Amino acid sequence: MHDVGLATANLLAQATAMGIVTHPMGGFDRKKVADLLNLSKEYNPVAVIAVGYPGDAEKLSKASKEREKAARVRKELGEISFEID
């Protein structure tokens, strides 16, 4: 899990630097993905990442366009980490 997280973070950073958009997903049907990709039992799908070039936001549905154009919100550092005295 640690390795996948680290690899994902690097992939996202590199893609962004190259003007490529990504959509990482942790919520997906693991069995369906394993079946679809014909994965052997030793592989456990952890994340799915859609990767592509940005399209024209004007062509999106109203809801998707609003979401796409909305300001990005990030969690405060204190929400995802803590200090030990």
Closest approach, Cβ 85 to ligand FMN, in A, equals: 29
**Judged by CB under 6 A, does residue 75 bind ligand FMN?**
no
| Torsion angle of C-alpha atoms 65, 49, 30, 40, degrees rounded to 10 | 150
Distance CA 42, CA 6 (A): 20
Distance CA 73, CA 70 (A): 9
Q: Tell me, residue by residue from 1 to 40, as one string, x for binding to ligand FMN by CB under 6 A and - for no binding.
A: ----------------------xxxxx-------------
Angle at 43 between CA 37 and CA 46, to 5 degrees: 85
Residue nearest to ligand FMN (CB): 27
**Judged by CB under 6 A, does residue 62 bind ligand FMN?**
no
Choice from 2, 59, 62, 72 touching ligand FMN (CB under 6 A)? 72
